[in-house]
């Protein structure tokens, strides 16, 4: 996707309107949950699906695909609970 830049104004309550063309291109429909990520460059707004996809891409090759990090976390939490 090519970069698109528009000017926007912060209104009462800290609201910023995301232009319709951007919402449509990103699949941001009314009621859709989004993730806001702040870094030194600013704030990124993405759908949760795109955020998860980006995390999957970042982790690809770093974790054995046969390994379930979720299952390991659950097992660790159960062990911690049993030791309390």
Q: What is the mean pLDDT of the chain?
A: 87
Q: What percent of the chain is predicted at pLDDT more than 70?
A: 99
- What's the CA gap between 24 and 53, in Å, rounded? 18
The per-residue pLDDT for 11 is: 95
Structure token digits, residue 42: 């600013």
- What's the CA gap between 56 and 35, in Å, rounded? 15
Phi then psi dihedrals of residue 43, to 5 deg: -120, 135
Structure token digits, residue 13: 């309550």
pLDDT in tens, 47-76: 888 888 888 888 888 877 788 878 888 999
Rounded alpha-carbon distances, angstroms, from residue 8 to 11, 20, 32, 34, 59: 9, 12, 21, 18, 34
pLDDT at 1 over 80: no
Q: Where are the domains positioned within the chain?
A: 29-82
Which segment of 7-11, 31-35, 42-46, 56-60 scores lowest on mean pLDDT?
56-60
């Amino acid at each position: 996707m090519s970069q698109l830049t528009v000017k926007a104004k912060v209104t009462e309550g800290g609201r910023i309107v995301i232009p319709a063309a951007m919402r449509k291109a990103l699949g941001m429909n009314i009621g859709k949950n989004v993730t806001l990520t702040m870094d030194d460059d600013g704030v990124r707004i993405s759908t949760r699906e795109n955020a998860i996809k980006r995390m999957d891409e970042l982790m690809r090759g770093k974790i054995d695909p046969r390994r379930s990090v979720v299952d390991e976390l659950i097992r660790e939490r159960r062990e911690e609970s049993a030791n309390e």
